[in-house]
Structure 1
Amino acid sequence: MITKNNYYFDEYIAFFNTDTALNKRVELNAQTKMSLNNSVMSVKDYIETAARWGWKAVAITDICTVEAFPEARQVVDLGKLDIKIIYGMKVCMEGDTWEQHVLGHAVILVKNSAGLRNLYKIVTLSLLEPCDIDHCISKKILQINREGILLGSAGMDGELVRAIASQQSNDNLLEIADFYDYLEIQPIDNYAALIDDVDYPNISSDEDLREINRKIVELAKTLDKPFVATGDVRYLRPEDNVCRNFIAIELEENLDIRGSQFLRTTDDMLENFMYLGKATAFDAVVYNPRRIVDMIEDIVPIPEGTHLPVLPNADESIENISYEMAHKLYGKKLPAVVETRLTKELKNIINHGYSSVFLIWHTLVKKIHERGYHTIPYKFIASSFVAYLVKITDINPLPPHWRCPECQYSEFVSDGTYMFGTDLPNRDCPHCGKRLGKDGYDMPYEIFFGDDHIKSTEMIEIGFPYERKDAVFSHIKQILGQDKVFHLGLTRIISDKYIFLEVQSYLENMDKERLTEVFGHTLTKFHYNGDDEYVQRFMEKRLHGVKVSNDGLHGQLVVIPQNMDSNDFTPLLRTFEKYDDGWLTTLFDKEALGCQLMLLSVPVARELDVLKKLEEKTECMASDISLDDVDTLSLLCSGGTPGIVDEDCIMSPDIFDIVYFGLPDFSRLLSKIKPNSFSEFVKVYGLSLRQYMMIKKINTEELISSGLCNINDAIGSREDVMTYLIRKGIEPIKAAHIMENVRRGKGISKHTRKMLKAHDIPDWYINSCQKIYYLHSRAQFIGRLTVSYQLAYYKVHYPEEFYRAYIESFADESDMDVIKDGKNRVQDELNKLKDIGDLDEDLQDKLKILKIAQEMYIRGYTL
């Protein structure tokens, strides 16, 4: 039995609600949750419902946006649905220059790829051009960019319906109607608001509303234009009107009291227009809309495939730079491990068209390094040897090895005795007697490149100093051109917490009689009897995913190839007014564009500003700091500061306040495992991430303390799995495949388990692989941990300079006023923050600064 408390109510509706007509309609006017505060219908539900009903096509016509397009295509492709998506938009149309006023809505449908480009151009203009009404576009601009598109007259908010309702002359009506390619009629319930609108005193009954549709049909026949019946759909089912009206009340808009703007079946729609006559109703509902569909090509909203920038001579440049640096480091005759890795990576980069991507990053990072600043590699780029050779990163991913800076002698250690080159004992060169350098972080090729090609250009992300952010963006413009690079867009949706609180408050505060009056027509469809709990759950589900605004990701850039332009991929808008950098933002987000275009991820890292100041104050270069300093490692592992006890501080800082690694398990694992080297420190960090991601916890500390494994063999990253298996005799390609399955939480198959047992892989290791839910790559955090180590080194060996550099880089003006007032003022402010309890992000940053300042004063240092 179906009841109002049945959690399967949606499935019940889906089962019984279907389209049984032999000749089915299509919908040419529908809005999704991407239509700002106008719809509660998801793209997926809309398309899947229409496909299940056997419809040939559906249109998406959100108001002033096209953000639903990529998801719509994905729904069709992933579901292998036999339905055509008609890409369109409802536009707010404005009069020409001499008559700046809103004429009404019009509907744009895209016929072909040229029309799609024009639509994206229209959207961009509507979002960027100054206008009396936000997001309006002039009728003249629509006419100029009309190639490849069809214009429909829209419904109650269209200029044609308004002109008929205000009883304009027939000649005027013909002139208005003649602008459009097809004319729309809608169920009269969609026009109901006209009855109470004082601007239309002649509209007072349902019969007056029917006359509007009769007049539209008459005009269409006179002009020989198609007339089509549309639903102006805002929600999937009649009862969803509750949620649409919630949005309308929030915006103080007119309520859809009759609940008419749901997705109607063919028979439902035909019934609504029988007053026009059976033949005319059929033409409007079925025949003419399907004629429109036949005019429209099956297109994709974003060009398929990967479209990367192409710089002149990029292949030769990357190859030459790589080999020149390799010979400089390893000699004229490259060691086999170097030659093999370099050849393999270069072949992959060149064959898949990534040379220009590497050259762009090389040029950008080089400019920053030439000015004496450091960068931080994020994500997976640190595992590329070519990236190291062309100085995109400072991380050498080869196995641990000694290297002579004088005669280029090298010696590699690949048996697992040492994890990193920093673990190697100090030695002198056997050829020239110079002290050997120690290098190598042992990160396989497959971590970045996968089996045979780079997984995504998004895998390259470099952190830049905050002080150089403007220069970085300026360099990018110089390299690529301002019209080829844009901020990456971000669509913000309503938060679940906001939905819960607002709906709860809404239902609690609304008078029950008023609730029934507003929603009674639709609520009775699911037997509403005053139970707010069910209404709450129902509304929360429908409102999830509703768009609330557009934003962008500052520091996340999208690159358009030189032979294409933005209109091939996305409309543009302007965000980041606080940065005032003159750049535009893509309307489509990372999910839509990330696989098709190059993403330039350039976040700022203030710790790099601290490093720069410390180098200037101490004349000790960060790149010269040895990663095997005992005192630095002791500070990192203790999490405290020498000479400071808890009683001295109101809220004692630790090193993780400085280097941003306060994960719950990290400090605990450090104190328990007590790493003896930088490589073990990195391993423990990886273990803390892995522990954090576990479904079933793997108690690595117990495995180590019991002697079942040592810290070297423990699984802390993807690299650990692959290098361990290779050392045990597993072929690299098989080791890479096993690593991929383990890091994704797929575990190990029975066949693989037998193979591992045959290679003497212990049970504890196999069982650990089975329990892993997700594994990070060492390449994702090795750069940040290196900078963390360098900061800790300065704090140990140059404490006064450290405090000054840190405070200068992170404190704002108000923080500095507090700190300069001395120790007592700092303590007073810390007490205030302590009493607040739950701190927002800004107050958390202030807390870190003041804790560092307090520690500085306690240790006897001042500004």
Structure 2
Amino acid sequence: MSFVHLSVHTEFSLHDSLVRVKPLMKAAAASEMPAIAITDDSNLFCAIKSYNAAMSNGVKPIIGAQLLVQTSRIATPSLITILCKDNQGYRYLTDIISKGYDEGERDKEKRPIIPLDWFEGRSAGLIALSGGREGEVGRLLLNKRNELAFDALNEYKELFGDNFYLELQRIGHPADDRYVREAVEIAIETETPVVATNAVRFMAPEDFTSHEIRLAIAQGRKVQSLREDMTAPCTKHQYLKSPEEMRELFSDIPEALENTVLIAAQCSVDITLGKSFLPEFPVPQGMNESDFLRESSERGLEERFRYYFKTDEAIAAHREEYVARLNFELKTINDMGFPGYFLIVADFIRWAKENDIPVGPGRGSGAGSLVAYALGITDINPIPYHLLFERFLNPERVSMPDFDVDFCMDKRDLVIQYVAEKYGQKAVSQIITFGTMAAKMVIKDVARAMGHPYRFGDSLSKMIPERPGVTIEEALAEVSELRQEYETNEEVKVVIDHALALEGVTRQTGKHAGGVVIAKNKELTEYTPTYRADVGDSLVCQYDKDDAEAAGLVKFDFLGLRNLTIIDHAIKTINARRGKEGLPPIDILAIDLEDRPSYELLKRCETTAVFQLESNGMKNLIKRLQPDRFEDIIALVALFRPGPLQSGMVDDFVDRKHGRAEVTYPHPLLEGVLEPTYGVIVYQEQVMQIAQVLAGYTLGGADMLRRAMGKKKPEEMAKQRAIFVDGCLKHNNIEGGLAGSIFDLMEKFAEYGFNKSHSAAYALIAYQTAFLKAHYPADFMSAVLSSDMDNTDKVVRFIHECRSMNLDIIPPHANHSTWLFAPHDGKIVYGMGAIKGLGEKVAEGILRDREYAGEYQNLTDFLFRNSMPKRVAEACIHAGMFDYTEMDRSELLAVCPLALLAGKQLQKQAGQGMLFEMEIPPLPRVDVPVMETDIRLSGERKVLGLYLTGHPYEKYRSSLMSALTGQLIDIVKNAEDDTIDRADKYYNITIAGLMTGIDIKNTNAKGNYAFFKLDDGSARLDCKIFPKGYHEYQAFIKDDNLVVIHGQVRMDTRTETVSVIVDTVQPLESFLQNQTGRVIINLPEGARPFREMAKIHGLSSLQDEGSLRIYMKTTDQEELVEIPQPPISSNGPAIQKLRDLWGAGIVIEYVKQQGKVASRKVSIDIDPVAETEDLEAVRADLRLQLETFLDKGYKAMYGSSESGMSPD
């Protein structure tokens, strides 16, 4: 007597299983189980994975699911397990689960609740297990509602007939024995078959604690809390028991075991895999897809000729080459059966462009297709840049083409909607993804679930290298500190062991960044079940990308790229202005790719907001390379990756470009292939071309060689080497030694080579953004700011960039602002959309009325023409919308209530037909003080989320620079630099700024901790302070406090965000008082030092002690001269006196404690005299000392005793 497990949850149940599919199938095969059923919770996520894994291990796969079903007998849903007997049952189960996510109600875990009557007419091919004690029959029996239990049993038997089984479980639950006894009794009475299951949730007994931790993490609880819960959802017995263990467990009910084998024998689902089903594209009558593709491509190529070559002579010179390439590509596409794919992609791109939705010029290897260029799928001509079609679609290796298409981020969903309407709402969906427990996070989660304090798990997770995909095992091998903790600290070992058990387990669903599938003339459920994460969410298929394609669906990639939105916004504002000026519009695809100002901007590394070129690391590479042609930008995109940067090839590339190293080629025949990259192999296409030119490979065969080099299989590489060496000799008489050396070189660079088609397409977007920044800075930066208008942190950074470009950012303006940021007279006007409380509908009304009735004269006119609450009107005033009027913001706020009343009165008169008799009265003037700077700035931050016309920290910035690690913008850029080793970024820093957005959390046991942002006007940084630090510094942790912080900077590679872990917090003024620093008096040109020195007379009488020593500096002397006066404070009467005397010439600098002030000291004593004495009296008093020390003093300052000066 054997046994088959018919109730197994895998990790794809998301919250209640540790079972991984491949190890499960291997274990089933090892135990000689003939079959196994995967019955995940309310889904078929892993149906294809489990089907393939079972078949490859010689185990029959049984597809099923555990569902929640609802009847009128019990208020809450009950469990049922459904197994598929055949393909019809598989289709029915797919339909029911999909319908559940589409139409069904949800439980608190967002699982669909299936009405039992949905199975009417859809039960053929399905086997139903009752759900044990949690099924409806079981629950009624345990609640002593036996009559209803009989009713329920009869209904299930009517639906499923002989395919309904009462499910028996002995998994250690207190109610098991009673349930099994009563279930067997009712089974005998009603002649219903019984079946034994074990509700498997983990593989082995020793996995139980790890499984408990998994449950605790999913529920946000501690394991101890879970164990104390009498309704805990699992027991230690729910592992993959052997047939022998199950026989022992159910020795008294042998038929329950026998029925598992009988059920398994009935189940046989045969899923067709590996065959793609392209949707049919509608073509004109009398044509097929191949004919229509040729006609469309030839017509498109003629249009491209006119656009690209301009003259008939140029077209004639290139026609033969282009037509031959087009014909080759068309033959390949048609022979491989993919004309419909190209037509579908071209159609939705055409629709997007016609409907004002920006589309990228290309992405990935698809940019190498001339057919794609002719059809308008791409906008980069592949031939001038030697982009290869075979890199995209290889006639010698049949695989689906895969165009990645970038759309405007904001309108991408409209294109997907168009496709759904064209091919059917039930035939189109996006693709599911599965998030897993990664090394860093799983360690934190396990530590927290086991009751350890946050610091415990956080400190362990920080020992994991910051490398995408790194595993705990790799970290233990690489990081000695982590390994030592693991080997010597039992608590650490326990946490890491459980983390190892959970690492990589699926924890959540997501949505593929751009993948969309289209079913061929059918509903998606012919191929895949569908899913909605919650009611109203977008539809996705339940199979991930690989499984969906294996099931026959074809994937199309609809990706969102914010930079396309930026370019489109900028071009529209530029062309609107050019239209008013009578100038022709700018066509971004027709700009000069040899524009000098654009390359000069790149060479100056002014690439913030320039696509692909804005990181600090990229700026460093640009500084070295000094790009001056488009091919250099293509190379930049390809070279700026860890492999090339660490291999030395980038250094070689740069040196060759600048003549510091000779440009050489492995063979003279390769000059045409490698000339664009100065003889260095940079691209995958170059590897292919070398094989073609030297060894006679077809480009299809060369693509196979490239792939083989990437996989590094020794036997395949030996085979390819022989083919290459023989080919070199046969086609070009190249002897074996040289041919072998070239093959080795290709193999080395193939490891780092990048797809040139992708580089070229993205280099074009990069160049377009650089061109716009160079020629239309206000238009471009207003578009950049608008694209991230909802992200205040980014707005702060981009405003900082604008100011570095000498671009003024002016507050929102009633007569110039739009909803978004907008250029105006070479400046950027803040968008109304950034004003908190000013909704889009109100803003639309403001803009509409301004367009219709002209500019707003004053606040009354504005409020007459736009109805709004007082708080909204005041927000507009605080934002600066009426700074163009004669009134200060304080006066505007004072008269705002009167203006609102006047506006309402005018509206009333207008309603009585007196519109043309009205005049807008001037606002009454009120005598109120001008708004103080701090109040103005506070108001701006309240309504805009940031300081716009100044910053509270600004007056300290220059003096603190030398005492801090850097400005916040520098900290952020350094942490984001892709070329810096992650470990080098986690350093101690000292930073300063204003606290904002404080969020205090409670950890119960350890006390409060806090999150806040630090803002210094250049950027914002997220900060976190733990309970110990919070307890010590909580008095300083207040909104709007100016503080100095010591801590460590962190870069989260998962979220790509920079943050700071705070160690200490100190009020800024307190910090300044304790700092060593200096006051530098920068003398104006032509000033006579000793005369200026005399003005300080009497300073010490002010009794203003501090830490700042005083120095003097002339315009023609770099070295400082120390003035022999006692140190003064940074904010007392002494510094004020100096500012009265020299104004902007006074600079305060603070230095790090270990720093020293480099200067020379003039030893001239100046006796204090009363401040009432005039300068002549002071000079008389000093004359004798000056005569004596003149030569000494002059020599100290200028290195010479020949002053030629009198004491005057």
Stretch of structure 1 that moved more, 444-453 or 383-392: 444-453
Following superposition, the deviation at residue 694 of structure 1 comes to 7.0
Which residue, 425, 435, 456 being the options, matches 2:400? Answer: 456
Change (3 A) 1:693 1:125: farther
| Relative contact order higher in (CA < 8 Å, ≥ 6 apart) | 1
2:299 aligns with 324
Matched, 1:754 2:725: yes
Change (3 A) 1:340 1:812: same
2:392 partner SS? helix
Change (3 A) 1:657 1:611: closer
Following superposition, the deviation at residue 57 of structure 1 comes to 0.3
1:340 aligns with 324
Matched, 1:106 2:87: no
The within-5 A match list for 1:369-448 is 369-371=353-355, 374-376=358-360, 377-398=362-383, 440-448=384-392
Change (3 A) 1:696 1:73: farther
Which residue, 457, 462, 466 being the options, matches 2:409? Answer: 466
1:833 aligns with 1020
Which residue, 497, 506, 509 being the options, matches 1:547? Answer: 506
1:565 aligns with 523
Q: Which amino acid letter does the alignment assign opposite residue 548 of structure 1? A: R
2:570 aligns with 614
Q: Which amino acid letter does the alignment assign opposite residue 397 of structure 1? A: P
The answer to whether the 8 A contact 1:496-1:544 is kept is yes
1:151 partner SS? strand
CA distance in 2, matches of 1:257, 1:321: 62
Following superposition, the deviation at residue 797 of structure 1 comes to 2.2
Which residue, 151, 154, 173 being the options, matches 1:192? Answer: 173
Change (3 A) 1:824 1:534: closer
Q: Which amino acid letter does the alignment assign opposite residue 93 of structure 2? A: L
Which residue, 425, 440, 443 being the options, matches 1:497? Answer: 440
1:340 partner SS? helix
1:718 aligns with 684
2:811 aligns with none
The answer to whether the 8 A contact 1:308-1:357 is kept is yes
2:419 aligns with 476
Matched, 1:183 2:158: no
Which residue, 591, 597, 604 being the options, matches 2:560? Answer: 604
2:1020 partner SS? helix
1:821 aligns with 948
1:558 partner SS? strand
The answer to whether the 8 A contact 1:665-1:692 is kept is no
Change (3 A) 1:831 1:466: closer
Which residue, 105, 126, 136 being the options, matches 2:113? Answer: 136
CA distance in 2, matches of 1:558, 1:826: 52
Matched, 1:153 2:130: yes
2:62 partner SS? strand
The answer to whether the 8 A contact 1:448-1:454 is kept is no
1:396 partner SS? coil
Which residue, 461, 475, 496 being the options, matches 1:537? Answer: 496
Change (3 A) 1:712 1:450: farther
Change (3 A) 1:763 1:536: same
Following superposition, the deviation at residue 461 of structure 1 comes to 1.4
Which residue, 232, 250, 266 being the options, matches 2:243? Answer: 266
Which residue, 315, 340, 347 being the options, matches 2:290? Answer: 315
CA distance in 1, matches of 2:256, 2:150: 20
Which residue, 356, 364, 370 being the options, matches 2:348? Answer: 364
- The superposition leaves residues 414-440 of structure 1 with CA deviations (integer Å, 9 ceiling, x where unpaired) of xxxxxxxxxxxxxxxxxxxxxxxxxx2
Change (3 A) 1:143 1:538: farther
Change (3 A) 1:454 1:669: farther
Which residue, 682, 699, 721 being the options, matches 2:634? Answer: 682
1:9 aligns with none
Change (3 A) 1:666 1:178: same
The answer to whether the 8 A contact 2:527-2:553 is kept is no
Matched, 1:169 2:146: yes
Matched, 1:94 2:94: no
Which residue, 254, 260, 274 being the options, matches 1:289? Answer: 260
2:1097 aligns with none
1:728 partner SS? helix
Following superposition, the deviation at residue 569 of structure 1 comes to 2.1
Following superposition, the deviation at residue 349 of structure 1 comes to 2.2
2:842 aligns with none
Q: Which amino acid letter does the alignment assign opposite residue 284 of structure 1? A: A
Following superposition, the deviation at residue 234 of structure 1 comes to 0.6
CA distance in 2, matches of 1:575, 1:481: 21
2:3 partner SS? coil
Stretch of structure 1 that moved more, 683-692 or 141-150: 683-692
The answer to whether the 8 A contact 2:10-2:19 is kept is yes
The answer to whether the 8 A contact 2:77-2:113 is kept is no
The answer to whether the 8 A contact 1:182-1:228 is kept is no
Following superposition, the deviation at residue 601 of structure 1 comes to 1.7
Matched, 1:52 2:30: yes
CA distance in 1, matches of 2:742, 2:1017: 47
Following superposition, the deviation at residue 449 of structure 1 comes to 0.5
1:85 partner SS? strand
Change (3 A) 1:488 1:248: closer
The answer to whether the 8 A contact 2:130-2:165 is kept is yes
- The superposition leaves residues 554-594 of structure 1 with CA deviations (integer Å, 9 ceiling, x where unpaired) of 643221111x21212222233588xx7x7422222212213
Which residue, 70, 80, 84 being the options, matches 2:60? Answer: 84
- The superposition leaves residues 108-131 of structure 1 with CA deviations (integer Å, 9 ceiling, x where unpaired) of 000111111111122123223342
1:127 partner SS? helix
CA distance in 1, matches of 2:268, 2:754: 44
2:52 aligns with 74
Q: Give TM-score scaled by structure 1 length.
A: 0.76
CA distance in 1, matches of 2:19, 2:412: 41
Following superposition, the deviation at residue 543 of structure 1 comes to 1.8
The answer to whether the 8 A contact 1:557-1:599 is kept is yes
Identity %: 19
Specify the structure having the higher radius of gyration (Cα).
2
Q: Gaps spanning 5+ residues in structure 2: where?
A: 158-162, 220-225, 284-288, 306-314, 454-487, 576-584, 666-674, 796-829, 831-943, 955-1014, 1024-1048, 1060-1208
Q: Which amino acid letter does the alignment assign opposite residue 519 of structure 2? A: I
Change (3 A) 1:604 1:223: same
Change (3 A) 1:714 1:825: farther
2:105 partner SS? coil
Following superposition, the deviation at residue 39 of structure 1 comes to 0.9
1:716 partner SS? coil
The answer to whether the 8 A contact 1:691-1:698 is kept is no
- The superposition leaves residues 7-65 of structure 1 with CA deviations (integer Å, 9 ceiling, x where unpaired) of xxxxxxxxxxxxxxxx4311111111111311111111111100122111000011111
Matched, 1:127 2:118: no
Stretch of structure 1 that moved more, 545-554 or 330-339: 330-339
Change (3 A) 1:262 1:117: same
2:184 aligns with 217
